[in-house]
Amino acid sequence: MVLRTPVKLLGVVACLSEAAVLTDDSKDQVEANLSSVASAEVASISEAFSDTMLDPSDLPDNSVHQAMNAISGKMDLKSAVQVVNHEKLSSDVSSLVQQMSDGDTDNAMQFDEASLEKARIALNNLIEKAWTELDNKIFKCKGFQDMNRNNYGQVTRDIMRLIEQINDLERVESEAIEGISQKEMEIIDVKEMIERETKLYNTEYAENKAELTIRQNDLDVFAFILKFTKCKDATATLSQTDSRVCEMRSGRKTIMYSDSATAAQYSKMLTPRAKKSIDQILRSVETDKLKASSLLQQPSSNSTTPNMPPAKEPVVGEDGKPCIGAVGQNAGNGGGGGMGDEDACMKSCGPDPPDCALLHDKLSLMWGEYKDNVDSLTMEMMKNQMVFEEMKENFNAQIRMLTAAKARFQQLLAEARSNLAADRAELKEKYTEKAKLNRQYYRYMRACKKRIQWIMYQDMCAIKVVRNAVLVNSTKCKAETIQDCDLDAWVKHSCTVSCDDSCNADMPFKCGGWAQMTRTVVSAPDQCGIKCPALSKFIRCGQYKCPINCEQSRWSGWSKCTADCEGGLESHTRSTLFKAKHGGQQCGTSEENQACNTGSCDRNCRLMRWSRYSPCSVACGGGFQEKQRHVMIPTRGMGKCPKDKSRYRYRKRQCNTHSCNGDEICIAKQDLVIAVDGSGSVRDAGFKILKSYTKTLLKPTRQSTLARMP
């Protein structure tokens, strides 16, 4: 039975010899099969010994003494003599060994003690040299084994790291592709919304533009009429040669200008809606004038449009030209435009010019109404344009944001694919390197085991069997009492280097540092036994490249939460500065997420503090003061908030409750605007009354607080 004391692997073990390479000399090549010359039991013990010596998890175990005893105990003398290399023995020692092997004990007994001593010393020397050779071989094999397995471990860790990186990059690639597709769909949706809203806006704009053109044309008509109905002097009447109020055959009233160019321009500008409005204004002016004349008991001779018998001859139209032929229609023709055929020719005109002031006031009011219509529609169009431009800008901002997000996904995809290609290429190289290291390891270690078995069997155990047989008749050194050397396990000390970046797995024992190996004597040999080999040796160590750990940047700040309420996510990232190499520690996660805004989306409003009470609304007679609490943070979702006038937000109290004397003067500085009607229809007397009333109204107010009246 082979005894061994297991010791854990303390570090890299290398052969002492610098000259050892993968292709060793013929002596280190595969020896003859041990089973062809040894029994199955001896071969099994030798194989177990070599496995123990080359166990990757342990230092070489110094169970040589126990192994020699176990193997030599199973060998017979004849088998031992057959494998002993007689070339290493002197002639007389070789002759003695041969006689013992042949069973010639009578001649063997003739050897004196001196000859036996000489044979013992020679045989012990051979075992001691073989032991030294065995130590060197074990150290060299362990050195290669340790270097190869460390490189193999680095490559294996790199493969695991690369596989994990590739899986993570494939996930990133998939997410980036999905993100790009999603952003493209969102961009398409936003563009469709822009196209739809633009179409609606253009349709509405075209309708409003057409309506604005009509309203502007009507406004131009009244502006034109206002220009020629403006009172020129205090008589407040228009010259009869300038214009008259006439009635068309259809009953519509209009203005007839004496100047042909003015009449032609007026007729060209008239629209159906303007014709109706002018007719209504002229009839209103006539009605107001008749009422005024009735109140003053004046005769109705000043009627704007007295009933006159229709003229027998053809009359002119509003353009000042003869009606028949001039406007492309004949009397009684039923195919005209506008308000009808009869609307194209005049029936009669009043002898007096219209009342300038009254007519101008009526037209001014109508002009103001049309102006308001034009301005309101223009304002509405401008507002629509502003809303559309703002909406379009919002959509474009969304497109820019989505495009930027898509670009980030595209950049992420490009980086992921680039890193994938690099990692896959590196992974392929690592698999090739791993297979190569395995081939080198098993080929070299197979040769090591066979060489160790052969040294132990041929050069140590067989010679020990022969030595014991030779000394069987010795009186000085009896075989059964000889004490051979027995050693403890190796102890490894610290290496001079931890790693070496210049190492090459194809060139072992050319790099790294040195570590001292020591062992102690368990049982010292007597004067007849095998002497102890060296108790201290230096071996190679650190024969592998230095691991490079992954280095990452600091974490970025936390991103904006993905939701305002009901729980969202915020993340921060960090980049990789240096990737791990040579089995170094791999990178940690490059992104971390945490929950945020986990509160409910239903939020009540938050109110500001109470404001101060406002000044009293009046100086006497009882007024009020008020204070409020404005909303600082509005409600959200189904949140609640007090109403504006609730007691939680609004307070009101009375002030200055004493009675007024009637002679109070307003001293507070204020901006006061009084609008006074100064139109022509008010007349001079009416305007004087308005000025007197305004002065009376301003008497209780200190004049220093107001701007001076013009």
Give the domain CATH number at 581: 2.20.100.10
Residues 6+ apart with CB under 8 A from 495: 11, 12, 512, 513, 514, 515, 541, 542
Question: Poorest-confidence range of 126-140, 172-186, 256-270, 693-707?
Answer: 693-707
DSSP assignments along 85-132, one per residue: -GGGS-HHHHHHHHHHHHT-HHHHTTS-HHHHHHHHHHHHHHHHHHHH
Full domain range(s) for residue 621 = 607-664
Q: Quote the pLDDT of residue 239.
A: 45
Look at the chain and report how many structural domains it folds into: 4
Cα–Cα distance between 41 and 139 in angstroms, integer?
Answer: 26
Q: Quote the pLDDT of residue 25.
A: 39
Question: Contact, 205 vs 197, CB < 8 A?
Answer: no
Are 581 and 657 within one domain?
Answer: no
Q: Quote the pLDDT of residue 101.
A: 65
Q: Which amino acid is at 33?
A: N
Six token digits for residue 287:
């009605």
Are 582 and 674 within one domain?
Answer: no
Q: Quote the pLDDT of residue 315.
A: 52
Are 242 and 350 within one domain?
Answer: yes
Q: Please check whether residue 193 lies inside any domain of the structure.
A: no
Is residue 472 packed enough to be buried (19+ CB in 10 Å), middle (13-18) or exposed (0-12)? Answer: middle
Q: Please check whether residue 375 lies inside any domain of the structure.
A: no
Q: Quote the pLDDT of residue 197.
A: 93
Q: Please check whether residue 295 lies inside any domain of the structure.
A: yes
Q: Quote the pLDDT of residue 258.
A: 73
Q: Quote the pLDDT of residue 30.
A: 38
Residue-wise pLDDT for 579-625, tens only, equals: 888 888 888 888 788 998 888 888 889 999 999 999 888 888 889 99
Q: Please check whether residue 12 lies inside any domain of the structure.
A: no
Q: Give φ, ψ of 61 to 5 degrees.
A: -85, 130
Q: Please check whether residue 155 lies inside any domain of the structure.
A: no
Residues 6+ apart with CB under 8 A from 23: none
Q: Please check whether residue 696 lies inside any domain of the structure.
A: yes
Cα–Cα distance between 41 and 64 in angstroms, integer?
Answer: 17
Q: Quote the pLDDT of residue 244.
A: 74
**308 or 564, which is more confident?**
564
pLDDT tier at 274, thresholds 50, 70, 90: confident
Are 296 and 253 within one domain?
Answer: yes
Are 659 and 669 within one domain?
Answer: no
Q: Please check whether residue 255 lies inside any domain of the structure.
A: yes
Are 639 and 568 within one domain?
Answer: no
Are 243 and 311 within one domain?
Answer: yes
Sign of the alpha-carbon torsion through 283, 284, 285, 290 = positive
CA distance to 9, 24, 52, 433, per residue, from 142 (Å): 11, 15, 11, 21
Six token digits for residue 334:
């039923």
CA angle (383, 389, 394) in 5-degree steps: 125
Q: Quote the pLDDT of residue 388.
A: 92
pLDDT tier at 106, thresholds 50, 70, 90: low
Percentage of the chain exceeding pLDDT 70: 78
Q: Please check whether residue 266 lies inside any domain of the structure.
A: yes
Average pLDDT for the chain: 78
Q: Is the pLDDT of residue 43 over 50?
A: yes
Are 244 and 350 within one domain?
Answer: yes
Question: Contact, 582 vs 547, CB < 8 A?
Answer: yes
Question: Contact, 703 vs 666, CB < 8 A?
Answer: no
Q: Give φ, ψ of 636 to 5 degrees.
A: -145, 140
**359 or 387, which is more confident?**
387
Are 247 and 349 within one domain?
Answer: yes
Q: Quote the pLDDT of residue 228.
A: 67
Q: Report the pLDDT averaged over residues 422-437.
A: 93
Are 574 and 676 within one domain?
Answer: no
Domain limit, last residue, from 304, 328, 354:
354
Place of tokens 């590739």: 166
Are 265 and 278 within one domain?
Answer: yes
Q: Quote the pLDDT of residue 352.
A: 65
CB atoms within 10 A of CB 636: 14
Are 263 and 340 within one domain?
Answer: yes
Domain limit, last residue, from 540, 561, 596:
596
Highest mean pLDDT among 288-292, 417-421, 563-567 belongs to 417-421
Domain limit, last residue, from 302, 321, 354:
354
Q: Report the pLDDT averaged over residues 236-256.
A: 67
Instruction: Determine the straight-line distance between the first and last CA of the chain, rounded to whole angstroms.
Output: 134
